[in-house]
Structure 1
Amino acid sequence: MDSATEALRARRLAEVAELRLAIQWAVVQGEPRDDRDPMVTPGGDGTPSVREHAIPELAMARETHPATTRALIADGLDLVHRLPRTWAVVASGECEPWVARKVATLSRALLADQVALVDRAVARAIAGHAPSTVLEIARAKVIEADPETHRAERERSRHERYVRLSRADEFGYRHVIARTTAGDAAWIDAMVDRVADILALTHGHDHNRDELRSLALGWLARPADLFKLLIEHTTTSDGEQPAWAPDHLADTVDKLCALPAHKLARLRGRGRLFVHITDEALRTRTGVARIEGVGPIDVQQLHEVLGHADVTVTPVLDLQLRRRVDAYEHPETVKDHVWIQTGGDCFPYTPRTATRDGVDYDHAVPYDDTGPPGQTGPHNSGPLRRSHHRAKTHGGLTTRVVGPGRHLWRTPHGQAFLVDHTGTTRLSSSQAAAMADAIEDGVELYFTESWAYEQA
Structure 2
Amino acid sequence: MLDLATSALRARRLAEVEELRLAIQWAVIQGHPRDERDPMVTLGGEGTPPVREHAIPELAMARETHPVTSRALMADGLDLVHRLPATWAVVEAGDCEPWVARKVAVLSRALLSEQVGRVDRAVAKAIAGHAPSTVLEITRAKVIEADPETHRAERERSRHERYVRLSRSDEFGYRHVIARVTAGDAAWLDAMVDRVADILGTTMGADHNHDELRSLAMGWLARPVDLLTLLLEHTETSDDPAADAPAWAPEHIDETVARLTTLPAHRLARLRGRGRLFVHVTDEALRTRTGVARIEGVGPIDVRQLDEVLGHADVTVTPVIDLRERRRVDAYEHPEDVKDHVWVQTGGDCFPFTPRTATRGGVDFDHAIPFDDTGPPGQTGPHNSGPLRRRHHRTKTHGGITTRVVGPGRHLWRTPHGQAFLVDHTGTRRLSKDQASAMADAIKDGVELYFTPSPMVPP
Question: TM-score w.r.t. structure 1 length?
Answer: 0.47
Larger radius of gyration: 1
